[in-house]
Amino acid sequence: MLGITAFDLTREDTDLTNLIRDHHHFAETRVVNNFEETLNTWIQTNEVTRSGYRNYRILTDEVFDFRARVRGEEIDQVIRQGWYEVYYHPTHQRIVALCKKEDAFKVADLFENRFQLNVIKHRFNILEIIAQSADVKGARFEVQIETVTGLSLKGSNINNTQYYANMLQSGQLTGVIVSFDHGDRVITFRVSVDGTLLFYSALTSHEYLDFIDILYSYDRSQQPQPQP
Q: Comparing 12 with 200, which gets the higher pLDDT?
A: 200
Which of 85, 77, 35, 36 has the alpha carbon at shortest distance from 60? 85
- If one counts every other C-beta atom within 10 angstroms of the C-beta of residue 227, the result is 9
pLDDT at position 171: 73
Q: Across residues 179-191, what is the average pLDDT?
A: 80
What is the value of pTM for the model shown?
A: 0.82
Q: Comparing 130 with 149, which gets the higher pLDDT?
A: 130
Does residue 147 have a pLDDT over 60? no
Which of 1, 94, 18, 110 has the alpha carbon at shortest distance from 57? 110
Lowest mean pLDDT, pick from 10-24, 144-158, 210-224: 144-158
Instruction: Give me the sign of the Cα torsion angle 16, 20, 23, 29.
Output: negative
Report the DSSP pairing between strands 2-9 and 197-199.
Answer: antiparallel
Distance CA 80, CA 170 (A): 44
Residue pair 2/188 in contact by the 8 Å Cβ criterion: no
Lowest mean pLDDT, pick from 26-30, 88-92, 103-107, 175-179: 175-179
Residue pair 111/93 in contact by the 8 Å Cβ criterion: no
Instruction: Give me the sign of the Cα torsion angle 171, 173, 175, 178.
Output: negative
Distance CA 13, CA 10 (A): 9
Lowest mean pLDDT, pick from 17-26, 49-58, 135-144, 194-203: 135-144
Which neighbouring-strand residues pair with 83?
59
Which of 152, 168, 171 has the alpha carbon at shortest distance from 160? 168
pLDDT at position 175: 77
Does residue 49 have a pLDDT over 90? yes
pLDDT at position 74: 85
Calculate the average pLDDT of the chain.
82
Q: What is the DSSP letter of 12?
A: T
pLDDT at position 107: 92
Distance CA 15, CA 117 (A): 9
Residue pair 37/31 in contact by the 8 Å Cβ criterion: yes
Residue boundaries of the structural domains of the chain:
2-121, 126-220
pLDDT at position 96: 96
pLDDT at position 135: 53
Q: Across residues 41-63, what is the average pLDDT?
A: 94
